[in-house]
Amino acid sequence: MTSETHQEAGPQGLASALVAGGALVSDWLPSFNAVPRELFVPDRIWPGIEDGTRQNPVVYRSQEPEAWREAVYSDIPLTTQWDDGDHQGDGLGTTPSSSSSMPTMVFSMLQDLDVRPGNRALEVGAGTGWNAGLLAHRLGNHHVVTVEYDPDVARGARESLHRVGLAPTVVEGDGRQGWSDGAPYDRIIATCSLLEIPPAWLEQTAPGGIIVAPFGTEFGGEQIVRLTMSEDGTSASGRFTRGSAFMRLRQQRTDRPPFEDYLRGEPWPADAVRSSTELSPPETGGWFEQFVIGSGVPAAFWRTERYDNGAYTLWLYSRDTLSWASADYERDRTEYEVYQSGPRNLWDEVEAAYRWWDGHGRPGFDRFGLTVTPGRHAVWLDDPSNPVPVRG
C-alpha cells in the first residue's frame, strides 16, 4: 500500500474512491457514513491484497492499529475466517470461509439490488454483518432478514449490528432455504457464490422482485447476476452485471475425487485415446473463459500439473468419475497432445464451447444472462431464446 493510500486511510478517503469509481452513489452515501465498516471487522484479519512487504499476512488491530485501519478503509476484501473456523494460528488457512467483501463489490451489488422504500429484503450470507447493516439503515430493521449458516459468524454479526444500534433479523440456518417466515421478499441478495439458485428463493420472491447473486459454474468463473421474478412466479431471468469471485455457499461446495478414481487401477493412460489440438490450453484458463466453458460443459472440473520449464498438463474430469482428459502445454508449440477416456470426450467438449464463444466474437459478460425455473438453469447470449449450447 502506498504512502498516499496510508494518508487517506479512513471512511472519507474510501468514500471518495468509491464515488469516483461509480460504486457508491448518493442514495447509499448516508448508510455508508452511518454504518462504518470498521465496526464490523474483527480484531484479526487477513487483507485480501498483499504488497509483498509483510512477512505475515495477518493484521491485528490490537497490535498494529494503523495497518488494521488502513486495510479496513482500503477497497479490498478482508478474510475473517478460514476453513469453517477450524484453522488456528496466524498463517493462511486452506480455504477462506468468511470475509468482509470488497467495498466496490458491496455497493455495486447494492446498486443492482435497487431497493425502494418499503421493500422487504433477504440477505444470504451475513458474514461480518456490514451488508445487512447497510440494508437495515436504508430500509429499516423490520424489513431486513439475513441468514448465516455458521453460528459463530452469525453471533459476531448480530453483536456488531447491535453496537451500531441496528437489529435486522439474523437467522442461523441453511441459506438455501431462505427464511419463509419473512416471505415474500421484494429483494434477495447473496454474498456467497452459487452453482444454482435455490428453488426456495424463487418461491420466496414476490412477483417482479429482484435476486442479485454471484453465480458460477463447476468448471470455474463467476459473474454477478441480476434476476427479475416473473409476474406469475414461475421463473426469474436477467443479465450478468460484472465479474466476481466470492466464497462458495457451503452446501454447494463440490467434491474433487482423486485421479486414481478415474484410472480404476489401470496404469496411465489406461484406455485413453490419443489425439491433438491446435487450441492452446492456456486460452481456456481465463476467469471469464472458464465461465463460458462451464456454462456449456456441465458437471466437469479441471486441475493443472505444472513443470519446471513452464510446461503443464491440463487435466479435465467429469464429476461422476467416468470420464477424464488431458492436454499437454509446452511453450513455442502450435499443436498439443490430448488424451481422452470415458463416455464423454471432455477436451472435445471444452474446445467446442470455447470455439462457440470465439465464433461469436468473444462476447463479454454484459451480453450473457440467466433464466432460472425450479428445475432448470439456462445461460444465454443476448436473449433467453439463444441459450448457450450444452454438451455432455
pLDDT tens, position by position, 175-228: 999 999 999 999 999 999 999 999 999 999 999 999 999 999 999 999 999 999
Give yes or no: residues 54 and 8 share one domain: yes
Asked whether residue 294 carries a pLDDT value surpassing 70, the answer given is: yes
Asked whether residue 51 carries a pLDDT value surpassing 80, the answer given is: no
Give yes or no: residues 240 and 342 share one domain: no
> Which amino acids are annotated catalytic?
97
Other CB atoms within a 10 A radius of the CB of residue 364 amount to 11
**DSSP E strands, 230-311:** 236-243, 273-277, 300-306
Give yes or no: residues 198 and 282 share one domain: no
Asked whether residue 266 carries a pLDDT value surpassing 70, the answer given is: yes
> 306 CB contacts (<8 Å, ≥6 apart)?
312
Give yes or no: residues 315 and 222 share one domain: no
Listed range (1-15, 297-311, 342-356) with the worst mean pLDDT: 1-15
Which structural domain, as residue segments, surrounds residue 282?
Answer: 260-359
Q: Rounded to whole angstroms, how far apart are CA atoms 71 and 93?
A: 19
Comparing 8 with 347, which gets the higher pLDDT?
347
Task: Report pLDDT for 56.
Answer: 63
**DSSP E strands, 222-361:** 222-229, 236-243, 273-277, 300-306, 312-318, 324-329, 336-341
In a domain, 243, yes or no: yes
Q: Rounded to a whole number, what is the largest CA-CA distance in the chain?
A: 65
Per-residue cell: 159: 453483536
HSE at residue 384, side-chain half, CA atoms within 13 A, is 13
Q: Rounded to whole angstroms, how far apart are CA atoms 136 and 306?
A: 48
For residue 298, whether the previous peptide bond is cis, meaning omega lies within 30 degrees of 0, is: no
**55 confidence band (pLDDT: 50, 70, 90):** low
In a domain, 381, yes or no: no
In a domain, 67, yes or no: yes
Section 86-92 average pLDDT: 91
Give yes or no: residues 62 and 45 share one domain: yes
Give yes or no: residues 328 and 226 share one domain: no
Give yes or no: residues 17 and 70 share one domain: yes
**pLDDT tens, residue by residue, 93-112:** 998 999 999 999 999 999 99
Per-residue cell: 362: 468473444
User: Domain boundary residue among 252, 272, 288?
Assistant: 252
Residue 246 amino acid letter: F
For residue 257, whether the previous peptide bond is cis, meaning omega lies within 30 degrees of 0, is: no
Give yes or no: residues 136 and 246 share one domain: yes
Contact 336, 256 (CB under 8 A): no
Task: Report pLDDT for 15.
Answer: 97
Give yes or no: residues 297 and 198 share one domain: no
Residue 374 amino acid letter: P
What secondary structure letter does DSSP report for 284? G
What Cα–Cα distance (Å) separates residue 80 from each residue in 85, 227, 249, 371, 390? Answer: 9, 29, 16, 33, 38
Task: Report pLDDT for 6.
Answer: 41
pLDDT mean across residues, the chain:
94
Which position has the grid cell 463447476?
A: 218
Q: What is the CATH number of the domain that holds 314?
A: 3.30.160
In a domain, 7, yes or no: yes
Give yes or no: residues 189 and 234 share one domain: yes
DSSP 136-182: HHHH-GGGEEEEES-HHHHHHHHHHHHHTT---EEEES-GGG--GGG
Give yes or no: residues 114 and 205 share one domain: yes
% of the chain at pLDDT higher than 90: 89
> 216 CB contacts (<8 Å, ≥6 apart)?
193, 194, 195, 222, 223, 248, 291, 294
Give yes or no: residues 192 and 223 share one domain: yes
Task: Report pLDDT for 255.
Answer: 83
